[in-house]
Structure 1
Amino acid sequence: MWLETNRLIIRSIQRGDEIIFSGMSQDGSLSQVGFDANCSEWINDWIEEALKLTNNDNPRENYIPCTVILKETEEVIGSVGSTYYEDVDKVGICYFIGTPFRKKGYMTEAINAYVQFFFKQYSESEIIATILDANTPSWKVAEKSGFNLIEKKMYKDIDDEKEELYRFYVIRGQEDK
């Protein structure tokens, strides 16, 4: 997969991206998306799984991560992709961006491009976002990207230790609007 926006390239994940993602996680800011400060211990297994899932190209299998690159410098700045929520039988969006690249509109740009691609590529009528209520920057990005809040409720995601307040968002394909 290869998408270009005004400022970004969004491409399929590849070997080497895991090293950059591991580096981004060292400040602790990616722990909510599963990349903790110790991810260098397991990131090689993660990249192998991510490559396999990307090759299978089935958003209902698990997840399909893509890499976000800043065109101007060719730096990897984050990730956007899809993830499957088995408990609600929905495909969701997942994303993260490195700390130095936040508050510049890059992730909104990446999400908008990915959502357009997603609806053209897959037979899905909607894509959801589940975001911790306390993660204000992330849900603001979702809202700027056109996701609509459908509910706030206590929820325990698969990797969560305890139930917490989440915001549930949805965006629908053109034919479903």
Structure 2
Amino acid sequence: MLIETKRLIIRSLHPSDEKAFIEMASDGSLTEIYGDCSECHKWMGEFISNAIKLESEDNPYHEYLAFAIEDKTTHMVIGSVGSSYYEDFMEVGVTYFIGADYRGKGYAAEALQCLVDYMFGKYEINKLIATARVENIASCRTLEKTGFSVTETKMYQDLYDESEAMSNIYELLRN
């Protein structure tokens, strides 16, 4: 995948992205998705290799799709956007993270809008979902800026969460 937005390049992952992802893990950017990332350096290469394989299979209903968010000007990897199959909801959902140094600049919403357009344009998907902890106001705002609506607020524990937490469950329907 290779799509450009005004400020970003959303592209397939490359093995060379491992270092940037490990650095973002160390700044806490991956904690909400993967929990404690103090050992991320041990498995990040395998995660990226698996993501490359899953992208070649081209099936959003199989585990996950992950893409790099690259700053168009500096060509630095600043985050990731993708999809995940939520087995508990039996739906395709969106995932994203932005490195700490790049937050608060609208990059996540820009990348997420690009992903939504891509997913609805490429696949026969009529709905995307997302979850965000209620206290993660920035993530909730990002989802809402991109058109997602809260369908439920409840205690929820995602795959890598250490415990349940009050979370918003979001959905976005294809127009």
Letter in 1 for 2:99: G
Of the two structures, which has the highest relative contact order with CA contacts closer than 8 Å and spacing of 6 or more?
Answer: 2
SS at match of 2:83: strand
**RMSD of equivalent CA atoms:** 1.2
CA contact 1:91–1:127 (8 Å) conserved in 2: yes
1: CA distance, partners of 2:107 / 2:160? 27
1: CA distance, partners of 2:164 / 2:114? 32
Displaced runs of 4 or more, over 4 A:
none
Query: Gaps (5+ residues) in structure 1?
Result: none
* Structure 2 residue aligned with 1:163: 164
2: CA distance, partners of 1:138 / 1:153? 16
CA contact 1:147–1:171 (8 Å) conserved in 2: yes
Letter in 2 for 1:60: Y
TM-score by length of 2: 0.95
* Structure 1 residue aligned with 2:55: 54
* Structure 2 residue aligned with 1:28: 28
* Structure 2 residue aligned with 1:143: 144
CA contact 1:27–1:37 (8 Å) conserved in 2: no
Deviation at 1:28, TM superposition (A): 2.2
Partner deviation per Cα, 1:121-167 (whole Å, 9 max, x = no partner): 11110101111112111111111111111110111212222222110
* Structure 2 residue aligned with 1:4: 4
CA contact 1:60–1:84 (8 Å) conserved in 2: yes
* Structure 1 residue aligned with 2:104: 103
Percent identity at matched positions?
42
CA contact 2:29–2:98 (8 Å) conserved in 1: no
CA contact 2:15–2:45 (8 Å) conserved in 1: no
CA contact 1:66–1:80 (8 Å) conserved in 2: yes
Deviation at 1:17, TM superposition (A): 1.2
- The count of residues paired between Structure 1 and Structure 2 equals 174
CA contact 1:28–1:37 (8 Å) conserved in 2: no
* Structure 2 residue aligned with 1:17: 17
SS at match of 2:15: coil
